[in-house]
Structure 1
């Protein structure tokens, strides 16, 4: 404690020089923290939008093998989960921790109005879901449960077709078995377009969409859950898959993909490995009944996790480079400090301070200065991030990386702790030479030195 007290007292002796060093360290920490927070936030927003698009980060779908009706025809895969409660009961039985789940039906097609048409990716969802309702940013209209075949479209699609709330449009699509079908739908809501993918999204009540595409009663296309811990996606997917495999042993009409096999055949892209197991071009893949495919968000888009890892590596490298530059200044500064305090060191050594304690005083002084500078940089970075977050961004090319038109910043406590550890280690090395020289100094020789 005495060495720490001496180090703190020494920091107040040459305030200007110490302030310049602290500002340099604060600037480096500010830049790294801001970059790390911004890039992590942007990738996180991208992940959240995709997660919202598919309803969760662990997805289970049911696929039925449909042989061609005529010789030489193509095999079709029919996307149906007939038992609405089957997968949910499994998830609850396994006690998988999730924030919410969603059963939904997907349909691709075109909406036609006054001779104009636009491509849509229609999601049949329970429009009363809290998380879904909170994600909607309506420009006009909203969810109207009293309207049959009510349709919610994006602002861009509404502008391209010149439709308004209450207009009736024709939706052209295919049934689950591949036949053309049409339906009259009414525009009840128009959503703000935040990105290119968001532009093509449209929503309707799941029961209405099921009727349009002739989905069997009680069925749906996908079951998705949003895990509380997104890092548990692979574990949760394996648990669901293994539980379905137990039912497969009792019922030959139930099948499931093999994640472990997919990880062996395609270790860098598990999604492709799972796709190979349902490839209709391979007759050996044929099954009876339904085959459940369990996938995660990272299976579908493995690049997200890779980008996050690259972001953290890059910011850590930037921090190290900036700190190395600063540490050169710290090293040179403490060489000057050593020269200025030679007689003082001699006096303290003559009064009984050991060489080890002398070294600790120098090291503690430098570390405390750097930690104070880094803390100031962290505070300024948080303030700057809060200010930038309040600024609305209208650039559509960045929309997919924004949250409701704003940049968001996400800081990791683990990342900040790691950066502080790197700072302390580099500071210790920077003053090591001066501290050792001070520790080895003879009291008599130091007292005789004339500066």
Structure 2
């Protein structure tokens, strides 16, 4: 006898019952795969967006103290930094130097709003120009002094168009007030709506002149790595090399700082104008990685993964209880049938295998249905394009949600489901195999 065919036949005999059990299994698979695909896609999208906005994977900031005791954010001692970077040069794809105005006020006519302005060396930042999504204007003359790139939400608030002039009120590195005139060259789709402030870009030389830096000075240096997996290794090596010749902020010092100062170290401009409790000589460096910035987001992702796993286990436990009760009922319904098969020569092990294979096939059919449903849902959802001012803006990849399904995780879930199913049905299957032929044949139910 073909045990596999008998198991398949038994599934089709009770279509409604098989459909309900398979549907419950499919729903559990759908939940865990869909949430898992979303969290993986969200993590990768966030990494891409942060990398684009911040200009790299590792961020090196420098601060110095003036004779007055005030802190200015600038990397003046480039020699020590260049020596340290030389030790990791083989792992770096691009180096980006930037200056920045953290809280600038952009003014057009009677309207104004706040934004962050990054000074960019356009000759070196090829990756930034490739990732910016232009909705109006052009980047052809972006290297012209005073040309500015602003996000769509800022352009809409001000009612400004490419080619028109705007003013930006800002603080210099020493805390003085200054105003600069800019020409809007291009408007880009909003990339950082998750952030509390919009980001704009202009030439670094022009911005440096406005905030009190020399034309070749910069406030921080970003490293875009060839392999993002080397992030912590590169950061550790840079810290070790810089500590040999320069001051480097330690984790203990950062924990003692206020939230505003820590944010300023990450995004630039937050330390300028603050008086130092203990002035120092030379440049003090601070090294931050993409992982440091994304730590709160990664914690949220881990929570989502745990919630989806717990939900999956609960759903599977409920389904397993249903399987146990169902196969106990099946045992009663098929007692005479089992007795007949045993009477014509079927072994106990074969009877047990029929029950186990039936449950396994049912779980696999449910798993396949759940996987297909999950893939269909993620594909359709991934085709939906959201507006640039959507609350989901920072989680979007080219205006869409990104779902990434790992084949390994799908296989892992299916294996876990199969094991749970076999464990749930094992006792009814074992009991069926132990039925005595005589007792089974004379059963009245």
**TM-score bin, normalised by smaller chain:** 0.7 to 0.9
Residue matched to 2:202:
204
Cα RMSD for the two superposed structures: 3.6
Report the Cα offset of residue 95 of structure 1. 6.3
**Residues 337-393 of structure 1: per-residue CA shift (max 9 Å, x gap):** 222333443455456655445434322321232122112211221112111111222
**Residues 51-78 of structure 1: per-residue CA shift (max 9 Å, x gap):** 432223321112213342xxxxxx3322
Residue matched to 1:71:
none
- Indicate if the aligned counterparts of 2:72 and 2:174 stay in contact, CA closer than 8 A: yes
**Partner residue of 2:186 out of 181, 184, 189:** 189
Listed as ranges, the matches of 1:311-330 within 5 Å are: 311-330=304-323
Cα distance between partner residues in 2 of 1:179 and 1:273:
21
In structure 2, stretches of 5+ residues that fail to align are: 266-270
- Indicate if the aligned counterparts of 1:56 and 1:227 stay in contact, CA closer than 8 A: yes
Cα distance between partner residues in 2 of 1:368 and 1:84:
66
Secondary structure in structure 2 of the residue aligned to 1:104: strand
**Partner residue of 1:256 out of 245, 248, 254:** 248
Residue matched to 1:364:
357
Residue matched to 2:18:
18
- Indicate if the aligned counterparts of 1:367 and 1:427 stay in contact, CA closer than 8 A: yes
Cα distance between partner residues in 2 of 1:397 and 1:6:
54
Task: Confirm whether residue 341 of structure 1 aligns to residue 339 of structure 2.
Answer: no
Residue matched to 2:268:
none
More deviation, 158-167/111-120: 111-120
Residue matched to 1:64:
64
Distance 1:162 1:179, change over 3 A: same
Report the Cα offset of residue 104 of structure 1. 1.8
Distance 1:326 1:189, change over 3 A: same
Distance 1:375 1:67, change over 3 A: farther
- Indicate if the aligned counterparts of 1:84 and 1:220 stay in contact, CA closer than 8 A: no
More deviation, 168-177/432-441: 168-177
Cα distance between partner residues in 1 of 2:264 and 2:357:
56
Task: Confirm whether residue 138 of structure 1 aligns to residue 134 of structure 2.
Answer: yes
**Partner residue of 1:166 out of 163, 166, 170:** 163
Listed as ranges, the matches of 1:139-154 within 5 Å are: 139-143=135-139, 144-145=141-142, 147-154=144-151
Listed as ranges, the matches of 1:262-277 within 5 Å are: none
More deviation, 391-400/134-143: 391-400
Secondary structure in structure 1 of the residue aligned to 2:18: helix
User: Normalised by the size of structure 1, how large is the TM-score?
Assistant: 0.82
- Indicate if the aligned counterparts of 1:96 and 1:236 stay in contact, CA closer than 8 A: no
Residue matched to 2:55:
55
Report the Cα offset of residue 157 of structure 1. 2.3
**Residues 149-171 of structure 1: per-residue CA shift (max 9 Å, x gap):** 21111223223333222222333
Cα distance between partner residues in 2 of 1:419 and 1:435:
24
Distance 1:35 1:217, change over 3 A: same
Task: Confirm whether residue 291 of structure 1 aligns to residue 288 of structure 2.
Answer: no
Aligned positions, number: 431
**Partner residue of 1:442 out of 422, 436, 439:** 436
**Residues 130-159 of structure 1: per-residue CA shift (max 9 Å, x gap):** 432233222211222452221111223223
Cα distance between partner residues in 1 of 2:16 and 2:291:
51
User: Normalised by the size of structure 2, how large is the TM-score?
Assistant: 0.83
**Residues 307-347 of structure 1: per-residue CA shift (max 9 Å, x gap):** 01101001111111222222232222212322233344345
